[in-house]
Structure 1
Amino acid sequence: MSQFIKRAFGAAALAVLPLVAACGQAGQEDQSVQATKEEKASTLAGALNSEGNMTKLQGALAKSELTGVFDGPGSYTLLAPNDAAFTALGEEGEALLDEEQHPLLVGLLREHMLPGHVTPELIAEAIKAKGGPVTMTTLGNGKLTFTQDGDSISVSLEDGTTASFTGTPIATSNGVLIPLDAVLVPKDEG
């Protein structure tokens, strides 16, 4: 396992305690979300199950024992890397699924989770209101910066690692699933 993941998530590995319950209230309903998908996916767990290109994320969440969080009453936004994003990680992505890497996997996944019901439209409104990028804190206590270029929204880590929103977001009773085209893994500094 490369040192960049160990360094980046060392602190998160110590904080692998259960996730904070109910981290926010459900906000405005995402108008662009397909009603048929919403009907099939009443929870974030259901939304993940209804998406055919999220099987690697489902496996990672199951391995990390975080799946149950997305069936509960808390409200979360999951920035969900698609299967192609996980495949692009290659061997490092596969290594994260090893038992000894469990704390690192949990830390990585928590960096893809935001408290509350945050839709792409709300993010775009915040960017417009601020007149530029907005930063949000993840459940792993990391900082994600959201930017917009035309209709495209991207999210980046402090080191510049970036992913773009892709596909159709899904609003559920306990949060929002926003598909990403990349896994937000910090760059190797060494």
Structure 2
Amino acid sequence: MIGKGNIRCWFVAIVSLPLLAACGDVEPDQPEIATTEDGSLTLAAALGTNDDLGRLQQALAQSELSGVFDGPASYTVLAPTDMAFEDLRTDGTALLEEDQRPILVAILRDHLLPGHVTPEGIEEAIRTQGGPVTMTTLGETDVVFTKSGDTITVEMGGAARATLSGTAIAANNGVVIPIDSVLLPPKG
């Protein structure tokens, strides 16, 4: 594990690595996929290109965070798949209730990393570091990335763990990395 002082160095190293190409060509006549003037995807539009991220889009809309992804700031979304939300059962449904918005916002902020971070960048940082790499989310929670064989996992607080799954999508203002679990803080 690296200290917080070294996180900035690793973050700069990871951000400077090449990005993944966006999945497929985007046709300009598809109204559901918003692009910028130069035709590149915004992060919000990139989320819409993956049919398996509908529940995440619903959670972002309910939390009122979805508009952030059309702005100029750069984020990496550790994006739980629909199956990951289904695994939460009634707890997942309860999070979408109006009175649970502050909790939902906190959970979603723990799925956001500042800047463009790709799976390849994470893998390279793990290799260079010789082991786990710690990054801090926008929710100010440390997440630890590890690699075993070909599998990269992310862990939060020693309790929540997810595997990077599916194809990452690069956008002009961020990266979407699908994960197979929702990262929840330990129940206290």
Shift of 1:38: 7.2
CA distance in 2, matches of 1:78, 1:38: 20
Please, which runs of 5 or more residues in structure 2 have no aligned partner? Answer: 1-11, 28-32, 34-39
- Secondary structure in 2 matching 1:36: coil
After TM superposition, the score normalised by the length of structure 1 is 0.81
Tell me, what secondary structure is at the counterpart of 1:55?
A: helix
3-state SS of 2:146 partner: strand
Distance 1:93 1:165, change over 3 A: same
Q: How does 1:45-124 map to 2 (within 5 A)?
A: 45-124=44-123
Higher relative contact order (CA 8 A, sep 6+): 1
Number of matched pairs: 165
Classify the secondary structure of the residue corresponding to 2:52: coil
Q: Which runs of 5+ in 1 are unaligned?
A: 1-23
C-alpha offsets along residues 81-129 of structure 1, whole Å, 9 cap, x if unaligned?
0000000000011111111111000000000000000001111111111
Aligned to 1:154: 153
The one-letter code of the counterpart of 1:132 is: G
| Residue number in structure 2 paired with 1:20 | none
TM-score under structure 2 length normalisation: 0.82
Q: Classify 1:178/1:108 alpha carbon distance in 2 versus 1 (closer, same or farther; 3 Å).
A: same
Taking structure 1 as reference, are residues 104 and 135 closer, same or farther at Cα in structure 2, changes over 3 Å only? same
1:29 pairs, out of 10, 18, 22, with 18
- Counterpart secondary structure, 2:45: helix
Q: CA RMSD in A?
A: 2.0
* Structure 1 residues 37 and 120: alpha-carbon distance in aligned structure 2, compared to 1, 3 A threshold: farther
